Copies of this chain bind each other. A is one copy, B any other.
């Protein structure tokens, strides 16, 4: 394929194909040649024109996935009629785990065979973007009296680690039959802060992530 008038299209194509292969086969097991072959009409030179290394492609994939997530948060964030505790619950219910978690679940057998992705996932949790979205909501809840805590930050972190690590089928969550019990425990744990994260409807929704 000769020169493309809109090189960003080529960039996006490489990104998409790479993301697919990285998820399907794992980062380590995907070679540049695999990406070239899957693209079909491009060469290695094209890839190394748009990206400086394989690692760089992965970083771009990671950024791309992360930016998808951000949007979802901001929507609920703006809703006025809810109090803090309600917003928190709605975020958890509507947006359990994240957008592309669902996509990944179906494709990759489990993230432990894909350490690079696992690390990325946890790194994004650690870097606290999600935290920075939730903390203001908790603080709002504290102000309006719907949540009781002296430590909004740490409470947020606990909620994230429970949901996005313990419950998450991509990480520690394994057996879908345990989910109702786990949700009950989370509710128990957070009850002293007046937070009830899971209603029955959400629990049913969660049950659909069978593995």
A181-193: contact bitstring with B at CB < 8 Å (1 yes, 0 no)? 1101100110110
Alpha-carbon gap, A33 to B89, bound state (A) = 53
Interface presence of A5 (CB below 8 A)? no
Residues of B within 8 A of A188 (CB): 192
What are 28 residue pairs bridging A and B, where the CB atoms are less than 8 Å apart in the complex? A28-B28, A112-B119, A112-B122, A112-B123, A115-B115, A115-B116, A115-B119, A118-B118, A122-B122, A122-B172, A126-B171, A126-B172, A126-B174, A151-B181, A151-B185, A154-B182, A154-B185, A155-B185, A158-B162, A158-B166, A158-B185, A161-B161, A161-B162, A161-B165, A161-B172, A165-B165, A189-B192, A191-B192
Alpha-carbon gap, A136 to B166, bound state (A) = 20
Alpha-carbon gap, A181 to B150, bound state (A) = 10
Interface presence of A178 (CB below 8 A)? yes
Interface presence of A24 (CB below 8 A)? no
Interface presence of A140 (CB below 8 A)? no
* A207 nearest CB across to chain B (Å): 16
Pick from B116, B119, B161: contact of A166, CB below 8 A. B161
Alpha-carbon gap, A186 to B121, bound state (A) = 24
Instruction: Please list the 8 inter-chain residue pairs (A to B) with the smallest Cβ-Cβ separation, ordered nearest first.
Output: A115-B119, A115-B115, A161-B166, A154-B185, A112-B123, A115-B116, A189-B189, A112-B119
Residues of B within 8 A of A118 (CB): 115, 118-119, 122
Interface size class of A (residues with CB under 8 A): 20 to 34
A39-50: contact bitstring with B at CB < 8 Å (1 yes, 0 no)? 000000000000
Interface presence of A96 (CB below 8 A)? no
* A97 nearest CB across to chain B (Å): 15
Residues of B within 8 A of A157 (CB): 166, 172
CB-based nearest B residue for A182: B154
CB-based nearest B residue for A185: B154
* A163 nearest CB across to chain B (Å): 11
